Chain A
Amino acid sequence: MNQPPLAQRILLAKVGLDGHDRGIKVVARGLRDAGFHVIYSGLWQSIDAVVQAAADEDVDWLGVSILNGAHMTLVPALLESLRQRELSQIGVIVGGIIPPADQAKLIELGVRGCFGPGTPLPSIVEFCNS
């Protein structure tokens, strides 16, 4: 008998101090309903804690939500930490309030996708499945 395909694993994380978690919790439910194995970190995570959790949970994707304007500090540090721990195969996606120019810079640095306000859930699911 064929085994069902393994669900993709995604860690969703809030890094930094901002407590805006409406979006990430909605995305968590949407991805779960689409068949993903979702782990949500809760608020106020340090980069070290997130990278450790991504390694421990053996995830395919790491989604960080940032609405505090600190994305150009926190996301490059996160990518660098993943690189140092040889975890660059984990696809990083970012959501939140991020100006278009910064989105382009983050993609250049290695972020796979940036999702701003108004992004429909199905397009995030489709992105992670493709």
Chain B
Amino acid sequence: MNFVAAESPAFRTSLSGVPIKPLYGPADLADFSAQAEIGRPGQFPYTRGIHESMYCGRLWTIRQFAGFGRPRDTNRRFRFLLDQGQTGLSTAFDLPTLMGLDSDDPRSVGEVGRLGVAVDTIDDILALFDGVDLQKVSVSMTINAPAIVVMAFYLAAARQRGCDWRQLRGTIQNDILKEFHAQNEFVFPPEPSVRLVVDLIAFCTRYVPQWNPVSISGYHIREAGSTAQQELAFTLADGQHYVQKCLERGLSIDAFAPRLSFFFNAHNDLFEEVAKYRAARALWAEMIRDDYGAKSEASWKLRFHAQTAGCSLQAAQPEVNVVRVAYQAMAAVLGGCQSLHTNSMDETFALPSEQAVTLALRTQQVLAHETGVTNTVDPLGGSYFVESFTHKMKQDADACFRAIADQGGMIAAVENGYFRRQIADAAFEYQTAVDRSEKLVVGVNAFQQPDRDPIAVMEIDPATEPGQIGTLRAVKQNRSGADVTRSLDALRHAAEHRDNVMSSLLQAADDRATVQECVDALADVYGRFRPSAAW
């Protein structure tokens, strides 16, 4: 089958279905105040970027997401990536850890160390970051339902190693709302889940001031099938909900807003993605300044990490994924990201091999040092098309905000399944458009090639699970059962009395309580959330 690009409907709408005209000009910028909406880089509303000099001043952080096997396996991968020129760390935890289960729980069988690193106790955190200077390297941890538990383990481990918490830099995802919308790794019901997010924001604001205690994430919303517009709006609405809950807790907006960070997807449609990032910055700045009265400029600036779209990778002709990732990475950089993960070409089969992750890392290094995109600030600023698309993005997001309000607000919309339905509808619409060849995917519904030899993929050592269980049992044997019981009782007490649970979790970490023991203690008070199976 031959395709003529000009005749394909795929070239007349954006990836998310927004109609695109063949030509844009001054008339497209007529119905809004270009000066007020576009502004200058480093100035409100930050459409052109949060820094005056952007990458001319400092490159984005190259931060590949990594984690598999036991802590020492991931520690080796971390050191390898740092040796290859990565500039920050990013930790993937395995599913049992993400779900608050220990490696020896029957529900963990087959999953220990498979999709990320297995962490059961503070000893695993110590092994994971062995030899890494936590006061120098910024560390990201992608975990949500048990985020506060793992953060307590991290802080207790840092304290044991003599680190000053005030020097620690990094990010913990800790964004439970997007779990209810999309990613499905939740444990407790929505309200107490958000309470834990606020506990961690409040604690870090006071004691770990350079840490980003939440990374408000659209990435997974997009991966679950949303449009770019939904990703933008749902993410900012989640951020707005956390802000409201922090204010209700008595925190002052300028105390915590500068440490809120964001995480967006970098998908295939370059201009739609750039418009999304630019609109996100402007909408957030307006919301934080005008709706919440933040006085500090640091509060207004939306900082974000981007990751190339895992769901865009194809099993057919996997080498082509390198090209997809490169263009997606360029979108993130032209959109002004602060840090970036580039996916590896083999991720439609397994976790990345060392060879594949090196190529993904090199993709960022070529972008940073060879393509010239860093030579000037916001090179797309002022483009008739980009600016009018950015404006359209803001309007579409406003319509989404109104729809959420019509549902009765964030928690009501989570509970009635609004977000899940919206995302599932968009995912189905996209897939059927691909099946009808209305959207072309190279190697899938166009330009196919017969299968060739499969590429090499990484395998997880089968000794991981028994090994990790052995370590956990040894920890349980050598700790004081009485101490653990006492610290878990204190944790339950704090949860029941609506005190911040962080200090009791720090004690539990020192006493070598496990992730699951802490999560179960919290679930005794908060209960557990069961999702509906609606599709």
Flag if B315 contacts A43 (CB, 8 Å): no
- One of B350, B435, B445 near A99 (C-beta < 8 A): B350
Chain B positions within 8 Å of A29 at CB level:
424, 428, 535
Flag if B348 contacts A116 (CB, 8 Å): yes
Flag if A118 contacts B316 (CB, 8 Å): yes
Chain B positions within 8 Å of A44 at CB level:
107
- 15 extra interchain contacts, Cβ-Cβ under 8 A, other than A29-B535, A42-B531, A73-B110? A16-B110, A16-B111, A17-B111, A21-B184, A22-B224, A29-B424, A30-B432, A41-B533, A68-B111, A69-B111, A69-B115, A69-B351, A97-B348, A97-B350, A121-B432
B400-441 interface code vs A (CB 8 A; 1 in, 0 out):
000000000000000000000000100110011011000001
A64 to chain B, nearest CB (A): 13
Interface centre among B110, B225, B316 (most CB of A within 10 A): B110
With known contacts A26-B428, A70-B110, A117–B348 Cβ distance under 8 A: yes
Chain B positions within 8 Å of A116 at CB level:
315, 348-349
A35 within 8 A of B: no
Flag if B532 contacts A118 (CB, 8 Å): no
- The B interface, classified by DSSP as helix, strand, loop or mixed, is loop
- One of A28, A100, A117 near B454 (C-beta < 8 A): A100
A92-121 contacts to B, CB under 8 A, are 97-101, 116-118, 120-121
B224-282 contacts to A, CB under 8 A, are 224-225
B96 within 8 A of A: yes
Chain A positions within 8 Å of B101 at CB level:
17
Give A121 to B433 CA distance when docked, in angstroms. Answer: 11
B13 within 8 A of A: no
B108-132 contacts to A, CB under 8 A, are 108-111, 114-115
B99 within 8 A of A: yes
B313 within 8 A of A: yes
B365 within 8 A of A: no
Flag if A117 contacts B427 (CB, 8 Å): no
Flag if A70 contacts B114 (CB, 8 Å): yes
Chain A positions within 8 Å of B457 at CB level:
99, 101
A18 within 8 A of B: yes
Flag if B110 contacts A22 (CB, 8 Å): no
Chain A positions within 8 Å of B73 at CB level:
none
B533 to chain A, nearest CB (A): 3
Please give the residue numbers on chain B whose beta carbons come within 8 Å of chain A beta carbons, in ascending order.
95-96, 98-99, 101, 107-111, 114-115, 179, 183-185, 223-225, 311, 313-316, 347-351, 424, 427-428, 431-432, 434-435, 441, 443-445, 454, 457, 460, 531-533, 535
Give A37 to B175 CA distance when docked, in angstroms. Answer: 36
Flag if B184 contacts A69 (CB, 8 Å): no
A1-43 interface code vs B (CB 8 A; 1 in, 0 out):
0000000000000001111111011101110000000001111
